[in-house]
Amino acid sequence: MSYNGTVRCGNCYTSGHNKTGCPELRKAWAEDPESYMGRQWQRILDRKAKPKICSYCDTSGHTRAGCDDMKAHKAQFIIDANLWRSALAKWMKESQLGIGALVQCNDAAYHRGDTYMYPRDDNYIVPVGLVMKQPGLEISHYAGIMNTGTWSSGETFVIFDRIGAAAEQSGYRKSISVPLPSIPGIVPRLGKGWYNTESMDRNDRINNADWEVVSPGQVLDNGDLTCPKQLRKITKHHFAGPQDQTNSHFKTFGDFQRTQLQQYVNGEIELSEMKDPEVPTE
């Protein structure tokens, strides 16, 4: 496809079709199937003749774009994302986390001048900095479902610019990225290990998770977290082919966690009453 969005053929370089519809290849095949271009067209025909296998549900007869399972999972994904992000937005408001908030991360490693500081160093100073942009717009509710890759990977949630960083330091040396902390009922702390045989403490696995707001920022309504545009955006990204999401990888909340999240969003329970779902024993 050219820069202006017009399809361009990789064989004859004519606009309006691609190689799979190239009349020159088709003509060459009709005249001499054993010619170079004729063999190219034959490979296209052979590929088209193969039964379609869906890369999402691994069933023949349709592709990922027409998969009913994926369509159903997308609909559920949006419902789950809206609920979890609503709870997250409420937690952010209660925590006074917003643009301009002063954040302190008690276990972050960072650059101080030409030295890399670690929490165990004798002269370590706990970094403090300002949040300069809305947190969490790209994160999905999989961060709140135990044992998903997002939950255990420590995906960035907040970036703050460290106070005291030298003016000549480049951006990545000034900034500190922190993931979501473990939040009872919203981001479970305990899960299962890689082989599903031992318990795993999320706090022991990820870095920079011990942080807090020490001075409030601009309190936002966080409507961007649950606006339809953002929900569609994270859904599209999650189910895109390159993300390797398949039917067997799809996750959703259990009844306990879903009910509790809804109660918290509705104001029926306080954050202090939230509990993590039980870790499965099998």
Nearest one of 90, 103, 124 to 178, comparing CA atoms: 103
3-state helix, strand, coil split of the chain in percent (to 5) is: 40, 15, 45
| pLDDT tens-digit readout, 33-82 | 999 999 999 998 888 877 788 989 988 888 888 899 999 999 999 999 99
At 142, which helix (H) or strand (E)?
none
Using the 8-state DSSP alphabet, how is residue 243 labeled? G
Other Cβ atoms closer than 10 A to 168:
8
Alpha helices in the chain (DSSP H): 23-31, 36-49, 68-95, 149-153, 171-174, 202-205, 223-226, 228-239, 255-266
Using the 8-state DSSP alphabet, how is residue 17 labeled? -
Confidence class of residue 265 from pLDDT cuts 50, 70 and 90? Answer: very high
Q: How far apart are CA 165 and CA 169, in angstroms?
A: 7
What's the whole-number average pLDDT of the chain? 88
One-letter amino acid for residue 77 of the chain = F
The DSSP bridge partners found for residue 129 are 103, 162
Most confident of 109-113, 168-172, 198-202, 235-239: 235-239
Please state whether beta strands 102-105 and 156-162 pair in parallel, antiparallel, or not at all (unpaired): unpaired
Q: Do 160 and 240 touch, CB atoms closer than 8 A?
A: no
Window from 20-29, 102-111, 169-178, 243-252 with minimum mean pLDDT? 169-178
pLDDT interval class at 2 (50, 70, 90): very low
DSSP structure class, residue 15: B
Q: pLDDT tens across 201-228, in order? A: 999 889 899 999 999 988 666 678 889 9
pLDDT given for residue 252 in this prediction: 96
Cα gap 52→107, rounded to integer Å? 50
